[in-house]
Amino acid sequence: MCGIIGYVGADQVVPVVLDGLRRLEYRGYDSAGMAVIGDDGIRILRAAGKLRNLEQRAYHEPLYGTTGVGHTRWATHGAPTEANAHPQVDGRGEIAVVHNGILENYAALRRELLDDGVELASDTDTELIAQLLGRETGCLAERVLRVLPRLQGQYAVVTVRSAEPDTVVAFRQGPPLVIGIGRGENLVASDVTAILHRTREVVYLDNGEVAVVRADRVELLDAAGGPVERPPETLDWDAGRVEKGGYRHFMLKEIFEQPDAIRNTVRAHLDAERSGVIVDGLGIPADRLDRLRRIHLVACGTSWHSCLVGKFILERLTGLPTEVDYASEYRYREPLLGDDLLVVGVTQSGETADTLSAMELAAAGGALLATVCNVRGSSSWRLATARMLTQAGPEIGVASTKAFTTQLVALTVLALALRRARGLADRLDEQLVRELQRLPLAVEEVLRTDRALYRRGTEILSEATDSLYLGRGILYPIALEGALKLKEISYLHAEGYPAGEMKHGPIALVTDGFPVVAVATATATRDKLLGNLMEVRARGATVLAVAEPEADDVAEIAELVLPVPTVHPLLQPVVAVVPLQLLAYNVAVELGHDVDQPRNLAKSVTVE
């Protein structure tokens, strides 16, 4: 959702804030703004629309000061106008606030302030926080501690006050905040990508905590104002990984990073020497392993698709019944929990609000909590007992690619680890370990595919307004993922379906030239899928297929085959999704869309 940056140090703050916001713009891009404490108090600049509008304003209306905050917004309360952009200020313009999240008692607080005669300048919940802080007395930290109990909902807030020009105060409940410890300067940000180029020493703020950040020191307080001690951690990401590195878009760079991301994820969790899985690395306590009878996977969006694949892999390799839930449904459906249950929250960011709530619910119900996550130190990482880090590196493109394929790898490793722990390991395990090690080469092969094939596929899809993506078995989630990728960045309607279900409704959509994209690599159900493709072909559909180049039966039906190499059936989703990512990317570029920052979306969905 929204991106936040705060700075206090010796440098001019405007370039630091703009640079941080540029790195955070993938989180939200409806409007942007900043507050700078200068000699004459707080000065605010805000602009509706993309960050470049704010940059232009900053160029024409320069601000000077070495303490400030910036924000890039994904609108919740109020339209994405300049008036609703952050920072929001109190009535006297002495306190500026930037905020990510939603205040659930917005209506009550707003009514109270209006009844007290406060004039509100925006429709935002954020202004209410600024107004409440402005009505308190004392230093900013004292005001924050008094206002905190009045706020209900989720918030990550960073605030400055003109009377304290050397201090930034941050507090959170829900959405993340991280403090970057620099030399003679300190920073606060909604995620590490904004500050990595200045420091790799960070402290994560916990829920309910307040950070008082000055250039030479950072104090952490609990909600009662008591001191909190937490040493900094050193990040293992380097700043170069959040640059485009010569690619036109982050998404394309991230698609091409998949072989390395997969290689790193495999290496992190497999002991190549003993061709075995490093079970200890997962941190599942031995006594819990003995009791384990069931698995629930919870996630949102693309991560939910990786769970659908994970169900096939986990059930096949461990024999443990595995359920998959949308995290947003799980948290309200009263699932049957217990200490025989492993609940895995799968999340790239580790900050998705629904996934975190589902995990909290599961932990409260006695389940063993695990996470497959791409961000060490994130909220899901800290919540879980057992953790598997996907080694995708920072993913900036809103459309998830390398996080997805590394999640598939991580879930396979998790399944192998549980299988081994349950005494089920046999020659299949050795085969899968070898196949996992070979997987990056298979993905490289897909990435070398003749561009002309993609040009043809792009033409077919970009000229249509709707399309159907079909797959069966372990590949049906890949059809869902391919359709989601296309929808997200090309704004064309696409529906993913298990091919066998197609006759029960979606086939009504098929007319002459209607595009059907089939995930048709060699699984036990390929013949069934081919039967379904014949049915749509008979009704005029244009079939595009992902399949092995030697699959003549697919080539006979499809107008176009995007080739992928043969890999073990359990790993086919990893190679089969790559052509669909490239196809969606090419269609979006062809249609002239902003691939990395698609309409209405945000990278990290930190509100419900």
Q: Which is nearer to ligand M6R, 6 or 301 (CB)?
A: 301
User: Total residues at the site for ligand M6R (CB under 6 A)?
Assistant: 16
Residue 139 designated active-site: no
CA 124 centroid distance within chain: 25
Q: Which long-range contacts (CB under 8 A, 24 or more apart) does 194-199 make?
A: 194/3, 194/5, 194/20, 194/21, 194/23, 194/24, 195/5, 195/20, 196/235, 196/237, 196/238, 196/239, 196/242, 196/394, 197/19, 197/23, 197/239, 197/242, 198/16
Give the DSSP H or E segment for 446: helix 427-447
Residue 209 to residue 230: CA distance in whole angstroms: 12
For ligand M6R, which residue of 126, 348, 357, 532 counts as binding (CB under 6 A)? Answer: 348
For ligand M6R, which residue of 113, 266, 398, 499 counts as binding (CB under 6 A)? Answer: 398
For ligand M6R, which residue of 265, 347, 391, 405 counts as binding (CB under 6 A)? Answer: 347
In angstroms, give the least distance from the CB of 300 to ligand M6R: 4
In angstroms, give the least distance from the CB of 20 to ligand M6R: 20
Q: Please check whether residue 342 is in contact with residue 318, taking contact to mean a CB–CB distance below 8 angstroms.
A: no
In angstroms, give the least distance from the CB of 475 to ligand M6R: 18
For ligand M6R, which residue of 109, 399, 560, 584 counts as binding (CB under 6 A)? Answer: 399
Q: Which is nearer to ligand M6R, 398 or 418 (CB)?
A: 398
Q: Which is nearer to ligand M6R, 460 or 484 (CB)?
A: 484
Matching residue, tokens 């196809």? 583
Residue 397 to residue 567: CA distance in whole angstroms: 27
Residue 207's CB: how many other CB atoms inside 10 A? 15
For ligand M6R, which residue of 264, 352, 371, 597 counts as binding (CB under 6 A)? Answer: 352
Closest residue to ligand M6R in the complex (CB): 301
357 binds ligand M6R (CB under 6 A): no
In angstroms, give the least distance from the CB of 517 to ligand M6R: 17
191 binds ligand M6R (CB under 6 A): no
Shortest CA distance to 205 belongs to which of 188, 182, 226, 184? Answer: 188
Residue 2 designated active-site: yes
Residue 508 CB contacts under 8 Å (≥ 6 apart), including other chains: none
> What is the rounded (10 degree) CA torsion for 217, 223, 228, 231?
-70
Matching residue, tokens 């619910």? 361
Question: From residue 442, how far is each of 94, 194, 438, 569 by CA, in Å?
Answer: 58, 33, 7, 13
400 binds ligand M6R (CB under 6 A): yes
Q: What angle do CA 575, 580, 581 make, to 5 degrees?
A: 90
Q: Which is nearer to ligand M6R, 186 or 348 (CB)?
A: 348
Q: Is 593 helix (H, G, I), strand (E, B) or coil?
A: coil
Residue 308 to residue 295: CA distance in whole angstroms: 12
Q: Which is nearer to ligand M6R, 84 or 412 (CB)?
A: 412
In angstroms, give the least distance from the CB of 71 to ligand M6R: 20
Q: Which residues within the stretch 289-308 sit at the binding site for ligand M6R (CB under 6 A)?
A: 300-303
Residue 557 to residue 543: CA distance in whole angstroms: 7
Q: Which is nearer to ligand M6R, 399 or 530 (CB)?
A: 399
Shortest CA distance to 262 belongs to which of 416, 430, 437, 435? Answer: 437
Q: What is the DSSP string of 377-404?
A: TSHHHHH-SEEEE-------SSS--HHH
Residues in contact with ligand M6R, shown as a per-residue x/- string from 483 to 512 under the rule CB under 6 A: -----x------------------------
Stretch binding ligand M6R (CB under 6 A), from 76-84, 113-121, 174-182, 346-354: 346-354
Q: Please check whether residue 297 is in contact with residue 311, taking contact to mean a CB–CB distance below 8 angstroms.
A: yes
> What is the rounded (10 degree) CA torsion for 470, 473, 475, 477?
80
Catalytic residue, from 253, 311, 485, 603: name it: 603
Q: Which is nearer to ligand M6R, 318 or 604 (CB)?
A: 604
Q: Which is nearer to ligand M6R, 162 or 355 (CB)?
A: 355
Q: Which residues within the stretch 303-342 sit at the binding site for ligand M6R (CB under 6 A)?
A: 303
For ligand M6R, which residue of 84, 258, 322, 355 counts as binding (CB under 6 A)? Answer: 355
Stretch binding ligand M6R (CB under 6 A), from 139-147, 347-355, 435-443, 544-552: 347-355
Residues in contact with ligand M6R, shown as a per-residue x/- string from 93 to 112 under the rule CB under 6 A: --------------------
193 binds ligand M6R (CB under 6 A): no
Residue 338 CB contacts under 8 Å (≥ 6 apart), including other chains: 365, 366, 367
Q: Which is nearer to ligand M6R, 164 or 351 (CB)?
A: 351
- Indicate which residues carry an active-site annotation: 2, 603
Which residues here bind ligand M6R, judged by CB under 6 A? 300-303, 347-349, 352, 355, 398-400, 488, 601, 604-605
